[in-house]
Chain A
Amino acid sequence: MGDSLFDKFGKTFKANQIIFCEHEPGDDFYLIQTGKVRLNKVVGTKEKTLDILGEGDIFGEMAILEEAPRSATAIAQEPVTALNFNKANFETLLVSDPQLAIKLLKIFSKRIYEAKRRLMILNFTESETRVVDTLLMLAEQKGISHDETEPVELDTNEEQIANWCAVKLDEARKIIKKYQNMGKINLKAGKVIIKNITELSRFVYNKRKVQYEENNQ
């Protein structure tokens, strides 16, 4: 990427400086040129680090599409230089950096898939089915098939699961507890272990079948 692009769209941030804050409205996004950026989110009563991004990574790109509030706080972990793009200069960017445009295409493809998958979960009215289907989805994201016979380890926790399937945390906890008591899943620090994913998959499959039949009536 040429220097001229940085002259036009470049921004620098000091270490620990906030780039944007969770829930702040926004319509621009960033491409990191140097340095590291930490993405934090307040979950419940704790602030969690979602990701640490480096050179060549994009963040805040959802805002340009949805003009939705930021879903996380971005903080410069160390001195950062980044290109800042908005709707107005978006096209200039795409033309001047085709590689970045392709990267965005890939990100969006993935986002669409994930969003559709989430929609399938949210279409269930029962919280239990939502929670179980969320476990399946997390396994899918790791590339694990529903035929897997070995126990499946997921890096997640109750809050994340509850958040993903829009079930109240207390309720999600109860459901997870129930599955734990039945011996179907195990909880370790920051991990959920599914003993038999095929069994959970069959449960959700049957629920989905019933739902389709109801909807088609």
Chain B
Amino acid sequence: MAITRNYKAGAVVYFEGDKSGEIYVLKSGNLTLTYRGIETTSYMTEKLNEGDFFGVKSSLARYKREETAQTASGGTVLVLTIQEFEDLAKKNSKLVLKMLKIFSTQLRRIGKQAASLISSSGEETPEPSLSLFKIGDYYLNDKKFDQALYAFHKYIECFPTAEYVSQARERIELAKRGISTGFEGVGTEGETSEAEGTNELDEVNLDDDSFMDESDSEESKISELYQEAVKLVSESQFSEALETFSQFELSQLKAVNKSFYENASFEKSYCYYELGQYSEAVGAFTNYIKEHPKTERMKSALLHIGKSHNSMGEKNRAISFFKKVSGLPPKDELNEEATKLLKDLEDKG
């Protein structure tokens, strides 16, 4: 049977750091909870109303009290053991539902705070759709075809307009082929079947358009291709460089290294320009600027767009880009070049 306790003015029901399995209900009088904020030492207070429960979470989860419960002018408190609380809760589903709602709100709030701290510390939080796709790829590479099939089907079902839907369809076919070659469910029964079927699986060529970067090896492969392409650009072998850049999706580099991605986007655009593929160059540089609006190479990108327009005989467009570049600080040789090109065009016109 639950007991009732009376507290005199100023009395403490429990202190922060105490450990106990008691759960309380304020029957009458007043009670204040004082707890420490997560980010500061400053304390916050919460005044309870008659009928409010307190000490629930720490008792149920068997943790230390996180707050101090004190009454200013005295109060009467119903004291429940965990068992008594459970008996009460069983008869009162509304009470439990209300508590669950409060708890879930708290959890969500904390979850949001954590997410913002994680993202500000530079950790990647990839698109959920992409993560699901990558899980499918992981299973496919791991020859867990049933699971891959499930993941790609879910991807298409949940994100019908996502970026890699057509690739997901292709992978579903690969997974089906994997299953039909008789290696269904490899790995789902534990580690025993790891060695089986590796030869047969070579038939299911998973690497033919391996543009995802789930595994380290794929990441390092992309990284290598990137390095090679950049080297080719520096050696002015633009068509070879472009060929190398085309062996993977540039966006894959995002997961490897963001500055690789930026650099690759610029260099690939530059290759188009050098190879005289001006309209591709304009498109690629424009995209580059859009995606990297704070880039240090803004001026250079704008200048190349201008020069591409110029080469395509689009004089007015070229002029507007050259003007833009010539006015952008800090003044350097790019400004000079733009000014000179501008002057040439205007002299001609």
Contact = CB atoms under 8 A, between A and B. Distances in A.
B56 interface: yes
B29 interface: no
Interface string B184-216: 010111000000000000000000000000111
Given A75-B188, A95-B93, A119 B216 contact: no
Contacts of B121: 122, 125, 166-167
B60 A109 contact: yes
A75 B57 CA distance: 31
Interface in B81-137: 86, 89-91, 93, 96-97, 99-100, 103-104, 106-108, 110-111, 113-114, 117-118, 121, 123, 128, 131-132, 134-135
Nearest to A49: B190
B83 to A, nearest CB: 11
Interface stretch (A110-118, A131-139, A147-155, A176-184): A110-118
Contacts of A105: 56, 60, 89, 96, 99-100, 103
Contacts of A68: 111
Interface stretch (A2-10, A20-28, A29-37, A186-194): A20-28
B146 interface: yes
A99 B83 CA distance: 12
A142 B147 CA distance: 34
Contact of B114 (A22, A95, A106, A122): A122
Given A95-B93, A215-B40, A22 B118 contact: no
Interface residues on A, range: 35 or more
Contact of B135 (A23, A44, A111, A215): A23
A118 B131 CA distance: 23
A8 B90 CA distance: 22
A25 B110 contact: no
A203 interface: no
B110 A116 contact: yes
B104 A65 contact: yes
Contacts of A44: 216
B1 interface: no
Contacts of B99: 105
Interface of B: 38-42, 56-58, 60-61, 63, 66, 86, 89-91, 93, 96-97, 99-100, 103-104, 106-108, 110-111, 113-114, 117-118, 121, 123, 128, 131-132, 134-135, 138, 142, 146-147, 150-151, 154, 158, 185, 187-189, 214-216
Interface of A: 16, 18, 21-25, 42, 44-45, 47, 65-66, 68-69, 73, 75, 91, 94-95, 98-99, 101-102, 104-106, 108-113, 115-116, 118-120, 122-123, 125, 166-168, 212-213, 215-216
